């Protein structure tokens, strides 16, 4: 008994051609719908590598811009701290000068001393040792201040 396989060669070729056409149509529709020339790495390997390189460069530029913005904000806050420290130091200098005035009584001197002590504690609260992000521009705040009592009286 012999086995007979009936096949339609023309139908098989037509089916293969239809499958290939459907595949190409799907690829074209994917490209159109994505708006990109490269949908799969197999489309253009060299172009995909260039595209990935440019995308990485754009992300690095964005990160650099973010770092610059953070640095500007940090420096602005440091500028504010330095302005406050300058005002505190100016007042401390003024108090020291007032303390040396021989016409002041003991109550005035005690008031000057208490204000000086309060300013000294405020200045130490601005020091970078109290913050987690110490900066070189605020190193001037770490120096110790003396009491106005140490100034020689005239």
Q: What is the pLDDT of residues 113-149, one digit of tens each?
A: 999 999 999 988 887 655 545 555 555 445 545 555 6
The answer, yes or no, to whether residue 154 has pLDDT greater than 50, is no
Query: Based on the domain organization, do 76 and 24 belong to the same domain?
Result: no
When divided into structural domains, the chain yields a total of 2
* pTM for the whole structure: 0.51
Work out whether the CA dihedral 141, 143, 148, 149 comes out positive or negative: positive
121 domain-assigned: yes
Query: Based on the domain organization, do 75 and 140 belong to the same domain?
Result: yes
84 domain-assigned: yes
Contacts of 81 (CB under 8 A, 6+ apart): 126, 138, 141
18 domain-assigned: yes
User: Which pLDDT belongs to residue 47?
Assistant: 74
pLDDT in tens, 10-51: 888 999 999 999 998 988 887 777 776 666 666 677 777 888
Instruction: Residue 25: give the domain boundaries.
Output: 10-40
Q: Which has more confidence, 86 or 9?
A: 86
Query: Based on the domain organization, do 100 and 143 belong to the same domain?
Result: yes
């Amino acid at each position: 008994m012999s086995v007979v396989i009936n096949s339609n060669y023309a139908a098989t070729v037509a089916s293969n051609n239809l499958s290939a056409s459907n595949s190409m149509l799907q690829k074209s529709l994917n490209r159109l719908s994505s708006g990109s020339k490269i949908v799969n790495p197999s489309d253009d390997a060299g172009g995909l590598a260039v595209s990935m390189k440019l995308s990485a460069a754009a992300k690095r530029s964005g990160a650099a811009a973010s770092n610059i913005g953070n640095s500007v904000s940090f420096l602005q806050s440091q500028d504010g701290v330095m302005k406050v420290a300058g005002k505190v130091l100016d007042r401390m200098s003024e108090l020291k000068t007032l303390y040396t005035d021989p016409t002041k009584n003991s109550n005035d001197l005690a008031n000057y001393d208490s204000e000086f002590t309060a300013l000294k504690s405020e200045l130490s609260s601005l020091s970078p040792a109290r913050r987690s992000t110490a900066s070189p521009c605020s190193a001037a705040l770490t120096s110790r201040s003396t009491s106005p009592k140490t100034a020689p009286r005239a």
